[in-house]
Chain A
Amino acid sequence: MTSVNNPILSVQGLTKHFPGGREGLIGKRDVVQAVDGVNFEVAAGEALGLVGESGCGKSTTGRLITRLLEPTAGTVTFEGQDISHFSNAQMRPIRTQLQMIFQDPYASLNPRHTVGTIVSTPFKINKVTPEGGVKKRVQEILEIVGLNPEHYNRYPHEFSGGQRQRIGIARALALRPKLIVADEPVSALDVSIQAQIINLMKDLQKDFGLTFVFIAHDLAVVRHFAQRVAVMYLGNIVEIADRDTLYATPKHPYTKALLSAVPEADPDATGARERIRLTGDVPNPINPPSGCRFRTRCWKAAEICAIEPPALLQIGKTQVACHFPE
């Protein structure tokens, strides 16, 4: 496995199993294999995109990285420190470095707190006093994310979806973190607002040298934000490559299908593209298929696919987990 230079974050064999329902009175508890043996690294200053369909474990991965969840197995190494099983107290100094932006700008902000309170919470929790005082710093940040510093005393409901997402970003930026995990930050926004937020985060990445893990289900959005892209399917990473390689020459059948399913806003482009239509839905993570988890929907599936789970191997510039890569 090749590694990136100077990784700020490294994830090895990361696994999270959630307890599911129980069968019968004393039956075995089901296990939701939300994330199962995921490996990747993120270089300082880069943006890694994490894409996949609903329920494939993107959010769970994001919450493991930021240690909002504790892994069932595997390690999360942040700046050389294995934080996989750190206690809350141990995490405190690290939390300032590791922040998260959430999908739903409506649900993730406390409606009873003013914008000022929301954005200054990280200072209070982590007992940090910035130069010039909290208020001054918060107002600076509000300005950076394109909000008016006078919004300090207003409440979230007075803002539109796009502005609320800016507040969420301001909160994540407050402590000048090194790594931000953005979990579908634009999915809930109107089309005309999405570009504003993508551009803002891109500028922030450049200006502050931030490292991003950018979670999305939209391949086109990821393409505009991430330098490297990892594709997930049912708890596994099936392909990682730098952006241009991945979009130009997808190696995993699933990546290929995913790309060909994105509708293009150009009536002429539509006819020209190769079309792959997957059948059926993503299987249940309680009972994932044996061997390659994609095999129930894969048109190239062969006997070995049901027996042997394919390992994530380097092929050219791509890491891909498939017995018969493209």
Chain B
Amino acid sequence: MSAFLEVKNLSVAFPTEDGIVQAVDSLSFSVEKGKTLGIVGESGSGKSVTSLAILGLQKGSKARVSGEIWVDGNEIISASEAEVRKLRGKAMSMIFQDALAALHPYYTVGHQIAEAYLVHNDVSKKVAATRAIEMLDRVGIPEPHKRVNDYPHQFSGGMRQRAMIAMALSCNPSLLIADEPTTALDVTVQAQILELLRDLQKEFGTAIILITHDLGVVAETADDVLLMYAGKQIEYGTVRDVLQVPQHPYAWGLLTSIPRLTGDPNLALTAIQGAPPSLISVPSGCAFHPRCTYVDNVGTACTNIIPELIPVSEGKHHSVRCHMSAKVRQDIFANKVEPQL
């Protein structure tokens, strides 16, 4: 039996004046119902582009999308806009990064939620309006029967994000993609929203893709993690594996460079040198090589050959894209990285 969402070799490129932007490059992953996949990567690593591809939202644009995306047995990339439209909102829906921009400024929050419900449900406007109030109540908006008539700008940041969630969940979708749902929010509100997502998932068995650049959010919410760098998937596995026995030098760098609430605060953070690459001229070989401190362990392959995504050990659901041999990686991890975690 295959997973609810199955992505195979997804690539997305944008032809631009400066050249071709390879925003996403051969991504493969799957998400089952009731599970959460965290996609992590820094700004510009291709997270949002991936999520838009799953909803088929690049259809009709200049983007070149290739590979396969299976949602509940339907292939998205080869499907027509009309076919994908039937899946949007019901089989899969999305919460966008910037809730203020993603809501229509001229329609009330209630209208926008009701509209989403009406697409897939043959009911009267009145029933849909009741559903909107019910959804707002469900996501914890106080006095929903009053706030349903507010416009998005009358909501606070946290409430707008809740309204987005209410809208996305109004048709009980089986897959929910949340693109940095809490990045713009305060930690106390972020905690509320993440808890809400967890509760709703428990109740409806939704499959969730949670996009973030915060490893803490992933640790608290996700079952699996996919780590992206310059459009490629460089490490993929369960949260426990990837955060506790990370395999890729970039993952090591991230985990040792983030400030934490535990451990000795007087020790200097181990920063990753350099800056993320431009997607128009991605470094040859392993895209991370200009910033990697372990190139010497491999030699010229790092700069010449793009590493394959290989399982960390035979048959394990934990894979990594790095030329270093498993043995060398284990050694470095045990001696240099683990003591800092």
* Chain A residues in 8 Å Cβ range of B81: none
Q: Are B261 and A281 in contact (CB under 8 A)?
A: no
Q: Beyond A190-B42, A265-B243, is A224–B213 a contact (Cβ under 8 Å)?
A: no
Minimal Cβ-Cβ distance residue in B for A190: B42
* Chain B residues in 8 Å Cβ range of A223: 259-261, 265
Q: Point out which of B159, B191, B214, B217 has the most chain A C-beta atoms below 10 A from its C-beta.
A: B191
Q: Are A199 and B243 in contact (CB under 8 A)?
A: no
Residue interface bits B318-341, CB-to-A below 8 A is 1, else 0: 000000000000000000000001
Is B150 on the interface with A (CB-CB < 8 A)?
no
Q: Are A282 and B271 in contact (CB under 8 A)?
A: no
Q: Give bound CA distance, A257 to B254, whole Å.
A: 26
Minimal Cβ-Cβ distance residue in B for A221: B259
Minimal Cβ-Cβ distance residue in B for A202: B268
Q: How far is the CB of B316 from chain A (nearest CB, A)?
A: 17
Q: Out of A190, A267, A281, name the residue touching B156 (CB < 8 Å).
A: A281
* Chain A residues in 8 Å Cβ range of B192: 277-279
Q: Are B255 and A265 in contact (CB under 8 A)?
A: yes
Is B83 on the interface with A (CB-CB < 8 A)?
no
Q: Are A162 and B257 in contact (CB under 8 A)?
A: no
Minimal Cβ-Cβ distance residue in A for B267: A224
Q: Beyond A261-B191, A281-B156, is A191–B216 a contact (Cβ under 8 Å)?
A: no
Residue interface bits B64-97, CB-to-A below 8 A is 1, else 0: 0000000000000000000000000000000000
Q: Give bound CA distance, A219 to B259, whole Å.
A: 9
* Chain B residues in 8 Å Cβ range of A217: 186-187
* Chain A residues in 8 Å Cβ range of B253: 192
* Chain A residues in 8 Å Cβ range of B250: 192
Is B43 on the interface with A (CB-CB < 8 A)?
yes
Residue interface bits B188-230, CB-to-A below 8 A is 1, else 0: 1111101100000000000000000111111110000000000
Is B275 on the interface with A (CB-CB < 8 A)?
yes
Q: Give bound CA distance, A281 to B272, whole Å.
A: 35
Q: Beyond A190-B276, A217-B186, A224-B269, is A195–B219 a contact (Cβ under 8 Å)?
A: no
Is A160 on the interface with B (CB-CB < 8 A)?
yes
* Chain A residues in 8 Å Cβ range of B265: 223-224, 243
* Chain B residues in 8 Å Cβ range of A160: 275-276
Q: Out of A199, A257, A263, name the residue touching B271 (CB < 8 Å).
A: A199
Give the size category of A's interface with B.
35 or more
Q: Beyond A199-B268, A262-B216, A265-B218, is A220–B261 a contact (Cβ under 8 Å)?
A: yes
Minimal Cβ-Cβ distance residue in B for A188: B43
Q: Beyond A191-B254, A277-B195, is A264–B188 a contact (Cβ under 8 Å)?
A: no
Q: Are A266 and B243 in contact (CB under 8 A)?
A: yes
Q: How far is the CB of A152 from chain B (nearest CB, A)?
A: 20
* Total contacts A-B at CB 8 Å: 138
Residue interface bits B236-277, CB-to-A below 8 A is 1, else 0: 000110011000001001110111111001001111110110
Q: Give bound CA distance, A314 to B188, whole Å.
A: 26
Is B158 on the interface with A (CB-CB < 8 A)?
yes
Residues from 39 to 91 in A contacting B, C-beta threshold 8 Å: 53-54
Q: Beyond A270-B220, A277-B195, is A263–B186 a contact (Cβ under 8 Å)?
A: no
* Chain B residues in 8 Å Cβ range of A266: 219, 243-244, 262, 341
Q: Out of B142, B187, B213, B240, name the residue touching A191 (CB < 8 Å).
A: B213
Is A315 on the interface with B (CB-CB < 8 A)?
no
Q: Are B261 and A247 in contact (CB under 8 A)?
A: yes
Minimal Cβ-Cβ distance residue in A for B184: A54
Q: Give bound CA distance, A260 to B191, whole Å.
A: 9
Q: How far is the CB of B206 from chain A (nearest CB, A)?
A: 20
Q: Give bound CA distance, A261 to B240, whole Å.
A: 21
Q: Are B255 and A163 in contact (CB under 8 A)?
A: no
Is A306 on the interface with B (CB-CB < 8 A)?
no
Q: Are B188 and A199 in contact (CB under 8 A)?
A: no
* Chain B residues in 8 Å Cβ range of A196: 271-273
Is A140 on the interface with B (CB-CB < 8 A)?
no
Q: How far is the CB of A63 from chain B (nearest CB, A)?
A: 21
Q: Beyond A198-B269, A277-B195, A279-B192, is A192–B276 a contact (Cβ under 8 Å)?
A: yes
Q: Beyond A192-B253, A193-B275, A195-B270, is A219–B244 a contact (Cβ under 8 Å)?
A: no
Is A269 on the interface with B (CB-CB < 8 A)?
yes
Residues of B within 8 A of A (CB): 42-43, 140, 142, 156-159, 186-192, 194-195, 213-220, 239-240, 243-244, 250, 253-255, 257-262, 265, 268-273, 275-276, 341
Q: Provide a sorted-by-A list of 27 A–B residue pairs whose CB atoms are within 8 angstroms.
A: A53-B188, A54-B186, A160-B276, A163-B275, A190-B275, A190-B276, A192-B272, A193-B275, A202-B268, A219-B187, A220-B258, A221-B259, A223-B260, A243-B265, A260-B191, A262-B187, A262-B261, A263-B194, A265-B216, A265-B219, A265-B243, A266-B219, A267-B239, A269-B219, A269-B262, A278-B192, A281-B157
Residues of A within 8 A of B (CB): 53-54, 160-163, 190-196, 198-199, 202, 217-221, 223-224, 243, 247, 257-270, 275, 277-282
Seed contacts A163-B275, A279-B140; 6 additional CB < 8 Å A-B pairs: A160-B275, A191-B42, A191-B215, A220-B258, A263-B190, A279-B192
